[in-house]
Structure 1
Amino acid sequence: MASLKAGVAKAIEGLRNHFPDKSIEVCATVDGAAFVIVEDVPLGPPYQQDSTWVGFFLSTACPDDDTYPFYVRGDLTRLDKAMLKNPLHPGKAFPDAESTMPKRTSVMVSRRQRNQSCWSYEPPLLKLLTVIKWMLQQ
């Protein structure tokens, strides 16, 4: 594996510590960034699926940038058969850039941090937990 930038490595360590029972796949880029997939994240209602994988990219500026966007399983469907609520974007692939990680059909979860002054206060783990919480409230 390529050498990860310190902020990226620390963010991955935080993910592994928070999800010790989950498989976390990491694909480093040549510049020290990483594509990350957390497997088997609990989901359930309002979705038909009990769990999903969650994928995202940690840039070399981590943790001082916004971890965005997040991707989840491509077959995501709601129990009530309604369309996915915005800003969920089906028909995407993750990773969507050059990577040795196999591409997965996905739904992009568009949860951009709008308050740029607090990006450094929302590390990737907190952002991931915020996205999961938001998804479950849809």
Structure 2
Amino acid sequence: MKPKVQEAVAELRTSFPDAVVTDVADGDGGAFVSVDPIDPGPAYSQDETWLKFHISHMYPDADVYPLFVRPDLVRVDGNGHGEAITSGSFRGEPALQISRRSNHRSEIDTALRKILKVEKWVSER
């Protein structure tokens, strides 16, 4: 893994002390990362989900996108997930894909900041 990717994973571990943060090198300098558990928020029947994503070798010059949560995450109100959440897979594992691209990133949009923004977006839906 490239040093900036290693730094991003270390920052996630520090910021999510009650979660297990795992990383698997992708062979190109990036990493496949999992943060488990996170709280999806009160709109969902489940109290927790995992969040998985790829930090590419181009990080920090590339967006951390897309992100994935458990495939059986359901809303308490029975409604569908709405825009930006679709069925998909992460590394061959069923998952719900969260498409929240940061088109106009700045240097402060780190992997941690992106994960926190997506976690907040999901919990407020």
- TM range, smaller chain: over 0.9
Query: Contact conserved, 2:67 with 2:97, CA < 8 A, in 1?
Result: yes
Query: Contact conserved, 2:32 with 2:54, CA < 8 A, in 1?
Result: yes
Query: What's the CA shift string for 1:26-56, capped at 9, x where partnerless?
Result: 1101121100010110123101110110000
1:25 aligns with 2:6: no
Query: Contact conserved, 2:41 with 2:122, CA < 8 A, in 1?
Result: no
Q: Partner residue of 2:95?
A: 106
1:38 aligns with 2:35: yes
State the number of aligned residues. Answer: 125
Q: Shift of the alpha carbon at 1:111?
A: 0.3
1:73 aligns with 2:60: no
The CA RMSD over aligned residues, in Å, is 1.0
Q: Which AA in structure 2 matches 1:121? A: I
- Structure 1 CA distance, aligned partners of 2:18 and 2:117? 20
Query: Contact conserved, 2:41 with 2:124, CA < 8 A, in 1?
Result: no
Tell me the SS of whatever aligns to 2:118.
helix
- Structure 1 CA distance, aligned partners of 2:25 and 2:44? 31
**Structure 2 unaligned spans of 5+:** none
- Structure 2 CA distance, aligned partners of 1:23 and 1:40? 7
TM-score normalised to structure 1 length: 0.86
Query: Contact conserved, 1:94 with 1:105, CA < 8 A, in 2?
Result: yes
Question: Structure 1 segments of 4 or more deviating over 3 A?
Answer: none
Q: Partner residue of 1:100?
A: none
1:55 aligns with 2:42: no
Q: Partner residue of 1:93?
A: 89
**Structure 1 unaligned spans of 5+:** 96-102
125-134 or 35-44, larger mean C-alpha shift? 35-44
- Structure 2 CA distance, aligned partners of 1:82 and 1:7? 40
Q: Which AA in structure 1 matches 2:124? A: Q
Identity fraction in percent: 36
Q: Partner residue of 2:113?
A: 126
- Structure 2 CA distance, aligned partners of 1:70 and 1:136? 14
Q: Partner residue of 1:15?
A: 12
Q: Shift of the alpha carbon at 1:64?
A: 1.8
Distance 1:134 1:44, change over 3 A: closer
